[in-house]
Chain A
């Protein structure tokens, strides 16, 4: 069940394809590496902590969306204008990571912060999604 947290396979394939197309058709693309943040996911009871490594990015470069049980982290690492890049190992450009969550979450619980280039997103399982204990009435 936990492994459903990894990226949606179809998304990943489409994403790869898009990036490949972008790489081919954008001018100067041969020297460009696409920025793609790595993620960690931790769990404790009804809570989930998603961490994404987004070095150098500011709050306004990032977007978080939650829809139909899929958490999407997207954004852009911009190339600095007017400066020559000799080595581009970190990568630039738009990125999108989609993570399927193992349970429905209470959207109001979503809490995110950015520290030392790590975006941390905390989520709590929705009440209605938690297993309920039903008392059996003995007649």
Chain B
């Protein structure tokens, strides 16, 4: 994950001053399966190299950026998704096995799989008074 300064500099400078990219929260979908949660983050067209997922304690931090600058000679005549930075923080429940968290990027969706800890079976002796 590049820091903010580097990100700004990767924007090709035009006649305009270089600008700080707008920060957005990406659209998210959370699915619950039998043994795992699945977090889908909508990040179409982002550069995977500039995407990071970190787990800090029980907080999942997602950073990504999309540089959608027209190629030379092309002019953006109408834009609904332009260059921006994405930031999202998701609190992970204690029941998630942090060692087995898996992250993949496919078809513009960042998928974070959060497997649940296998419940331990414990026999509790009954004390008879």
Q: Chain A interface (Cβ within 8 Å of chain B)?
A: 2-3, 5-6, 38-45, 49, 51, 53-58, 80, 83-91, 116-118
Bound complex: CA A76 to CA B99 (Å): 35
Give chain A residues whose Cβ lies under 8 Å from the Cβ of B32: 83-86
**With A55-B42, A56-B107, A117-B107: A42-B31 Cβ-Cβ less than 8 Å:** no
**Interface residue total, chain B, C-beta cutoff 8 A:** 29
B33's nearest neighbour on chain A, judged by CB, is A83
Give chain A residues whose Cβ lies under 8 Å from the Cβ of B27: 89-91
Q: Which single member of B37, B81, B108 contacts A116 (CB below 8 Å)?
A: B108
Q: Judging by beta carbons under 8 Å apart, are B42 and A86 in contact?
A: no
Q: Judging by beta carbons under 8 Å apart, are A42 and B74 in contact?
A: yes
Give chain A residues whose Cβ lies under 8 Å from the Cβ of B42: 53, 55-56, 89-90, 117
Q: Which of B28, B29, B82 counts the most A-chain CB atoms under 10 A from its CB?
A: B29
Q: Judging by beta carbons under 8 Å apart, are A56 and B80 in contact?
A: no
B75's nearest neighbour on chain A, judged by CB, is A43
Q: Which of B42, B44, B73, B82 counts the most A-chain CB atoms under 10 A from its CB?
A: B44
Give chain A residues whose Cβ lies under 8 Å from the Cβ of B109: 55-56, 117
Q: Which of A44, A53, A91 counts the most B-chain CB atoms under 10 A from its CB?
A: A53
Residue contacts A-B, CB under 8 angstroms, 17 given: A3-B78, A5-B77, A38-B80, A40-B79, A41-B79, A45-B73, A53-B45, A54-B44, A55-B43, A56-B40, A56-B109, A83-B32, A85-B29, A87-B28, A87-B29, A90-B27, A117-B108
Bound complex: CA A51 to CA B46 (Å): 14
B128 at interface, CB cutoff 8 A: no
Give chain A residues whose Cβ lies under 8 Å from the Cβ of B12: none
Interface residues of B in 5-38 (CB under 8 A from A): 27-33, 37
Q: How far is the CB of A91 from chain B (nearest CB, A)?
A: 7
Q: Judging by beta carbons under 8 Å apart, are A41 and B31 in contact?
A: no
Give chain B residues whose Cβ lies under 8 Å from the Cβ of A83: 31-33
B39's nearest neighbour on chain A, judged by CB, is A87
**With A90-B27, A90-B28, A91-B27: A42-B76 Cβ-Cβ less than 8 Å:** yes
